Amino acid sequence: MKIGIDASRAFLKNRTGIEEYSYQIIKVLSEELKEHEIFLYVKKQDGLKFKNKNVKIREIKFYRFWTQIGLSLEMMINPVDVLFVPAHTVPFIHPENTIVTIHGLEYEHCPESYSLYSKWLHRFFIKKSCSWAKEVIAVSKKTKSDLRRMYKISKNKIRVIYNGFDDKFKIVNQNEKFNNNYLLYVGRLEIRKNIQGIIESFEILKERYGYKGKLILAGRPGYGYLNLKSKIQNSKLKKFILEKGFVGEKEKWKLISNADVFLFPSFCEGFGIPILEAQSIGIPVVTSNYGPMDEVAGDENILINPRSPKMMAELTNRLIKDEVFRQKVIDNGLENVKRFSWEKSGEGVGEVLLAI
């Protein structure tokens, strides 16, 4: 069987979110489906090679409208039996047996965090992709529920396959400590991630609970960043708030492993892989009671209303000062992450590809 995969986002140097999903699923499928021909469609080959002879790289040289023109033409000229799209957008021309992964409808839940054009574009193509695809993979039960409720997609068409997380960097030098204690957030710095709430919570921790550490924000700027930057600059505690920008894997894991508490109180998410990364190395997490974060976290003890900086500060303070409670949360997290792996995710996608 000939299986085509949109790999346009999979081999970027600095991967986050959907790019990481694409890379990890392709890595698993290339091993799981050795008896089938796999065609990876990329924008630039750049010397990309796979050790498995069944995997072939197809470079599609379209810099604009890559999916809807470039990939569509490839499907018309060199059709495959099955097309897998790991990130939302199915090309206009596609085989009958097309599978698409939908990572979430954040633009519907947090419309203020997207431009009008971005909202229209997401809504149009995700609706069309779900309609065109024979099977839809949702990365959470929450996303499946949203697709059924908002876009009227049949429940029989949607299969939930959770994301995994890559824990190969969890072996870090625990003796390599930073100079100060700190709270940590890793992810894009944008309004829907509730960075403003994190800052307000940090101020409460300092003023009411006497927290001695700093706040580290690691990630690229996103939508609304200028407002968040202004909030940081206007905070009387700005000297204790450090922006790290995008961090590589090694530094990310070093930051997580030394944090007092990992904060991930987003207003809306597609999944929440950073929750699992922190839990996997025994760092307590504070996250939102909104889906799918509550679905991923696996522990009601760490859930807060993200619109309440006071609640966030109270729970964070308890995790720092109450050793018994902290250890309970750590143990729950270590048990929770056993539910998730990229191997399980890739095997689940492989089953869908072969059964279609």
Structure tokens at 280: 């996997």
Listing DSSP states for 10-46 in one string gives: TT-SS--HHHHHHHHHHHHHHHHTTTSEEEEEES--T
* pLDDT value of residue 46: 74
Exposure of 54 by Cβ count < 10 A (0-12 exposed, 13-18 middle, 19+ buried)?
A: middle
Q: What whole-number distance in Å separates Cα of residue 3 and Cα of residue 39?
A: 6
* pLDDT value of residue 62: 83
Structure tokens at 53: 């002879």
CB 321 within 8 A of CB 261: no
* pLDDT value of residue 180: 64
| Domain covering 182-339 assigned CATH 3.40.50.920 in the classification | no
* pLDDT value of residue 334: 96
Structure tokens at 6: 């949109």
Spans of the chain below 50 pLDDT: 174-175, 177
Phi, psi of 13 (to 5 degrees): -65, -50
Phi, psi of 160 (to 5 degrees): -85, 120
Q: How does strand 241-245 pair with strand 55-59?
A: unpaired
Torsion over CA of 127, 132, 133 and 139, rounded to 10 degrees? -10
Residue with tokens 């069309």: 128
CB 284 within 8 A of CB 329: yes
Exposure of 112 by Cβ count < 10 A (0-12 exposed, 13-18 middle, 19+ buried)?
A: exposed
Architecture of domain 2-164+341-355: 3-Layer(aba) Sandwich (3.40)
pTM: 0.91
CB 18 within 8 A of CB 97: no
* pLDDT value of residue 172: 53
Structure tokens at 32: 């799981």
Element (H, E) at 119: helix 116-132
Specify the length of the chain in residues.
Answer: 356
Residue with tokens 């309440």: 308
Structure tokens at 173: 């030098």
Element (H, E) at 251: helix 249-258
Element (H, E) at 6: strand 2-6
Please confirm whether the linkage preceding 91 is cis (ω < 30° from 0).
no
| CATH 3.40.50.2000, the chain: domain bounds | 2-164+341-355, 182-339
* pLDDT value of residue 110: 87
Task: Provide the CB-side half-sphere exposure for 38 (13 A, CA).
Answer: 27
* pLDDT value of residue 168: 59
